[in-house]
Each structure stands twice: as structure tokens, then as C-alpha cells.
Amino acid sequence: MKAAELVIRSRRVVTPEGVRPASLRIRGGRITAVERDNRPAPGARVLDFGDAAVMPGLVDTHVHVNEPGRADWEGFETATRAAAAGGVTTLLDMPLNSIPPTTTVGGLAAKRRAAKGRCFVDVGFWGGLVPGNAAELVPLLEAGVFGFKCFLAPSGVPEFREVREEDLRAAMRVLAERGALLIVHAELPERLDPVWKGEGRSYAAYLASRPGAAEREAAALLVRLCRDFRCRVHLLHLSSAEALGPLAAARAEGLPITAETCPHYLFFASEEVPEGATQFKCAPPIREAANRERLWRALGEGAIGMIVSDHSPAPPEKKKLDSGDFREAWGGIASLELTLAAVWTAACERGFSLARVAEWMCRTPALLSGLAPRKGALTPGADADIVVFRPEASFLVEPARLHQRHKLTPYAGRVLKGVVEATFLRGDLTFDRGGFPAGRIGELLTP
């Protein structure tokens, strides 16, 4: 019989006030108290994790599940298995790469049918903004999306077209009235060269085809529109430090505009990418080491507020590994299970604490999406979404052991620091290193 109360203890509990010894009292899937001592808990089930870090479950607001329609790329069962194994307890699914996309209420209903009863973690959904669907925005909000994603540059799939400034203006007027969030793939298409000349196996040529100026000028456009409409705007997967200038000016004005970056921009550098290594292709691209260090400084200073995976899988044949042609390869890195370890490995090298990592990967994404205070922090009243993490341990990335549908990853053969021992969702074990418990316990979330 399940105990009426669960107590999880550690000498290193990551709380909003810092890392300290504590006991988490849990009843009905919620944290009822965070106690500083290990007082007796009569009648409770007690799990004492000793020196392992106990931290909030990650909130990953940027995941491409691709189901229905492209479930051969990734699906809810495999994606949420990977999430749980990586310490992610909540993910928000992007509206594209599935067929139909989440640009109508019908598309959202198809997503929910595909996900229902198949998730190991909690899942919510972004809506999509595309040309011609302005009339769908309010119905989608009322149906429970967390906000709207759009592309300024071509998305790569025909059913999710990019928007122009006139589309943004029409949408932002509606979204501002509702207090809704617009999240943007921010590369200005006029600055991109999708049919660059030269050697297709050259990563340098691919990088030059998507210059940092494309992100900088897109950021400037979004700042201007944010100023006009006071619509909440969030820049996705910031890869170029050039975009930090417009964002700094917007912050100085108090405009409601924020930004995220991703593990691959913080871990890798373009100088390290071999010719023809299309497993590294993503958009925006992985940039130079000097740029990477500027992103880390921006995180440290608060100019970038959060880190999310941008888990964007595809079948290996779409990555064109045989030819190594960056022009033809699908752009996307699947790393949901490795996100926490990759970020922690790089953060340690730069002197950042586990508390800062939790701020970037748990608390701030929960605040952005409106899931706080239910998610993102170990506080009374929050869901008991908990990760048991051994920050000093390390492991070799062996692709065959990953839980994502396709095992291709640029992290293959790397040694990463930090091992997820167990993941709890609302107080129930959804992952441990020995395997997955039976049952899929994730809920479908609405704001």
C-alpha cells in the first residue's frame, strides 16, 4: 500500500535559497514542506539520498516531438522516456514537424490524442502562428496552448510557413490584448543564403550562410514591434552574441522581451566541427568558441535567462551522413536526455553552481510558460517533480543506450559530468538508472 506521505532527503537539496540539507515532505503529489532538519517522519516512506543532489525537475519549453504525422522521427513515448532519463519532468511540444501542425484547434486535438496515456513526463503544447491563421489564435488560447511560435525564416517543412512583418503586427495586437506569449525563431531571411555556393561538406560554408547578423537584425525587428504593441516576446535558441545588443537595449527600456539558448551552443564550437559532420547541423548554427563564451557571460549576467534543449530529431538518413552535405541535411540536434549533463559539464568548467543551472533550466522556463509556482522549484505547494543528480559522477555517451527514437548525436563518445539517478513526477518514480517503472504517468497540461 502506498504510504500516506513521502519524505525525500539529501544533504544537498537545491532550493530557491541555495543548496542545503533538507527534507521534502510530499503528499498527494505536492510538496507540503521543505524542512531544514531530518526530523522523524512517523508513518511516512523516507528516501534518503545522502550526498546526491536533489533538485527540481527540468522544465524544457522547446521540444519537437513530431507526432502525429512524423512519428518515425520521434514520438511521445520515446521523447518522454528520454526526458525522464535526463531529469526533465515537464516539456512543451513545438507546433511544427507534426502533421497536422498545431495551428488550429483541430491540430491541437490531434496532438492530445496522440499523447494521451503515452507520456512519462508532463506535456503541454505551443500553438503555431503562420500566415492566414490569425482567426485561430484566440480559439487556440481558449483550448489551452501556452502561446504561439512563429518563424521569420523558412521552417524547413511546407505546412508551417514563415511570417512577415504584417503577419506579426496583426498577431501581436491580438496577443497583447490577451497577455499571451509569442516565441520566435529569429533569423532575418534576407540575411540568409540557403543556396550557398561552394563545398557542401564544409561546415565553414554552412556557418557563413547563416551569419550572426541575421539574428541581430531579427532581434532588432522584434524589439521594435514589442515596443509598438507591448506584446510579450521570447527569442528562441539564441546562437549569436550579436543579438545581445538589441536585447540589452530592450531590457533597459523595460520591454517584455526575453531570450533562451541551448546546450549545443554552450558546449560545442564551430572550430571543432569536422568537415561533413552533419550530425552537428542545426539552425541557427553552432558558432565560434569566442561567441560561445559571450553566451556564457550573458547567462551569468542575466541577459539570457534560460537554457532549453531544442530537441529536434529526424531519421538518420535525413542527416545525409553518407554524403556529409550540409546543404541537404536536416538541421536539428536530438539531445533531450543529455541536456542537463551537457550544460552541467560546461557550467562547471566556468565556475557556475548547480543552483544557477537550476535557475536556467527549471525556474525561469516555468516562469516564462506560466507553469510557476506549480513547476520549476522545490517549494511548498509545488508539484513534487524531483531529480536525484550526482554532479561529481561522469559517464561516456553511448548512443545505443539513449532512449530517443534515433540514436544519432554529436555528443557520441564524449564524457559528460553529472548522472541522473532517479526522476520523480508528482512524487512517483518515473525513472531510475535500473530502468523505467511500469506505467506512463505524465499529464497533459494547460496554462
Q: What CATH number is associated with residue 41?
A: 2.30.40.10
Question: What does the DSSP 8-state code read for residue 277?
Answer: -
pLDDT at 381: 98
Query: What is the model's pTM?
Result: 0.97
Tell me, what's the pLDDT at 1? 38
| Structure confidence by residue, pLDDT tens digits, 16-30 | 999 999 999 999 999
pLDDT tens for 150-169 read 999 999 999 999 999 999 99
Q: Flag residues of the chain having pLDDT under 50.
A: 1
Does residue 62 sit in the same domain as residue 47? no
In this structure, the answer to whether residues 211 and 224 fall within a common structural domain is yes
In a domain, 110, yes or no: yes
- Residue 407 falls inside a structural domain: no
424 and 343 within one domain: no
DSSP, residue by residue, 297-336: HHHHHTSS-EE---B----GGGGTTTTT-TTTS---B--G
Q: 33 and 126 share a domain?
A: no
Same domain, 66 and 48: no
Tell me which amino acid residue 269 is.
A
428 to each of 64, 270, 367, how far by Cα in Å?
Answer: 25, 41, 24
pLDDT in tens, 257-308: 999 999 999 999 999 999 999 999 999 999 999 999 999 999 999 999 999 9
Task: Clarify whether residues 135 and 36 are in a common domain.
Answer: no
Do 173 and 48 fall within a single domain? no
Tally of structural domains, the chain = 2
Shared domain for 147 and 35, answered yes or no, is no
User: Is position 439 within any domain?
Assistant: no
In sequence order, what are the beta bridge partners of 125?
A: 93
Q: What is the largest CA-CA distance in the chain?
A: 71
So what's the pLDDT on residue 146? Answer: 98
Is there a single domain that holds both residue 23 and residue 143? no
Q: What is the CATH number of the domain that holds 308?
A: 3.20.20.140
Domain-embedded: residue 282: yes
**What is the Rg, in whole angstroms, of the alpha carbon atoms belonging to the chain?**
21
Helix runs in 201-353, H state only? 203-209, 212-229, 244-253, 263-267, 289-301, 339-349
pLDDT at 3: 56
Please check whether residue 156 lies inside any domain of the structure: yes
- Asked if 183 and 40 sit in the same domain, the reply is no
| 229 and 212 assigned to the same domain | yes
| Judgement on whether residues 22 and 70 belong to the same structural domain of the protein | no
**Residue 289 counted as domain residue:** yes
365: CB partners within 8 A, 6+ apart: 58, 59, 60, 61, 260, 306, 308, 371, 376
Q: By residue range, what is the domain housing residue 190? A: 57-369
Q: 375 lies in a domain?
A: no
Residue 412 domain-assigned? no
